Amino acid sequence: MNLKQLKAKGGIVDGALVKKEVTWVHIDSKTDKEVTEKFDVHIRRQSFGVIERLFAPGEAEQSRNAKYISGSVLLGEEGTEPLTYEDAFNLESSLGFAILNAVNEANGTGKDQAKN
């Protein structure tokens, strides 16, 4: 897979909004009866790097894992296309974790380190 194909398949989060229905069960303050409300919200998809920042202690200038991925991953048939920090930061989160796992395994820091 090359970078163009990765982007075309949705591997880089584009910030598009996703419509989701929410069901909210609560007590109506006027009638004291339980009511169920259903409504739509629009969710901004978060990239791998944003999720990492959200759960990291303190706010880092840059994502360590996105830097690790961008410094480690090359795409394309011959491995000639570098993945930039920005693209690594904006990876779809499950893809980011999958790639990070592969980087960890290749570097002997993942679960399959004994196989290498």
Question: What is the distance between the alpha carbons of residues 106 and 110, in angstroms, rounded to a whole number?
Answer: 8
Domain presence at residue 25: no
Stronger pLDDT, 68 or 53, i.e. the higher one = 68
Q: Give pLDDT, residue 111.
A: 62
Tokens 């706010």, residue located: 59
38 domain-assigned = no
Residue 32, in any domain of the structure: no
Q: Is 41 domain-assigned?
A: no
* Over residues 99-108, mean pLDDT: 89
Q: Does a structural domain hold residue 98?
A: yes
89 in Cβ contact with 67 (< 8 Å): no
Amino acid sitting at position 106: A
Backbone conformation region of residue 79, classed left if phi is above 0, alpha if psi is from -120 to 50, else beta: left
pTM of the model: 0.64
Which domain range does residue 101 map to?
3-13+46-108
Confirm whether 29 is domain-assigned. no
Residue 87 within any structural domain of the chain:
yes
> Running DSSP on this structure, what letter comes out for residue 112?
T
Tens-digit pLDDT profile for residues 14-28: 767 788 888 999 999
- Tell me what pLDDT residue 107 has: 82
In a domain, 52, yes or no: yes
| Domain total of the chain | 1
